[in-house]
Amino acid sequence: MEILKEISEALQVGNAKKVKELVQKALDDGIRPNDILNNGLIEGMSIVGVKFKNNEIYVPEVLIAARAMQAGMDVLKPLLTASGVEPIGKVVIGTVQGDLHDIGKNLVKMMMQGAGFEVIDLGVDVSAEKFIEAVNEYNPNIVAMSALLTTTMIQMKNVIEALKNAGLRDKVKVMVGGAPVTANFAKEIGADGYAKDAAEAAELAKTYVV
């Protein structure tokens, strides 16, 4: 669809205003929020990722594209998240220590909210200690961790070890995800589950509270 291509292109050049307007127009045209997300916004961001990798663009351009992505996600948010319903469970979510990538984590949060969870978002660069404090404070069903760097994904293991040391491991399900994370890695570090994308993450989370 032409408008989804336009959304992807506006995102790639970091035009947040245009992304916002186009996402709204796509919704008004009756395009489903998930199609706008996957074939417009995420599609655009994956092209940004390839250009970044090939040194065709640099951190500032990626940051501007990330802001445009967030602007588009803000328009979709009310449609992807449930409101006014009794939560089906509680999730503590964060991007692990040393890692500042939050777009995927924010999407997972939205999808989980859409599935009926109350989500406590600890943000980015979250240390094991902060995860433990939050588990003690909020008593969640699930701890959800995101990592986008091969150098930070190992922090997920530290959080699981910290949960064990604090005697909390059996009280929560731990799920992990993010581009470099795999199902095998999740198993190796002793997580309960892995999801490859935000929709799958919400589905997996539901299986932990039924």
Neighbours of 3 (CB within 10 A): 16
3-class SS of residue 34: helix
* Nearest by Cα to 177 from 200, 161, 160: 200
User: Residue 30 is encoded by which pair of tokens?
Assistant: 């009756």
Question: Binding pattern to ligand B1M, positions 64-103, x when CB under 6 A?
Answer: --x-------------------------------xxxxxx
Give min distance, CB of 146 to ligand B1M, in A: 3
Cα distance between residue 117 and residue 203, in whole Å: 11
- Rounded to the nearest 10°, the torsion over CA 207, 33, 46, 44 is -170
CB of 10 to ligand B1M, least distance (A): 16
Task: Please select the residue that binds ligand B1M; options are 2, 28, 59, 184, rule is CB under 6 A.
Answer: 59
Selected range binding ligand B1M among 3-11, 15-23, 51-59, 132-140, rule: CB under 6 A? 51-59
Residues at the site binding ligand B1M, with contacts judged by CB under 6 A: 42, 45-46, 48-49, 52-53, 59, 62-63, 66, 98-105, 107-108, 144-146, 148-151, 175-180, 195, 197-198, 201
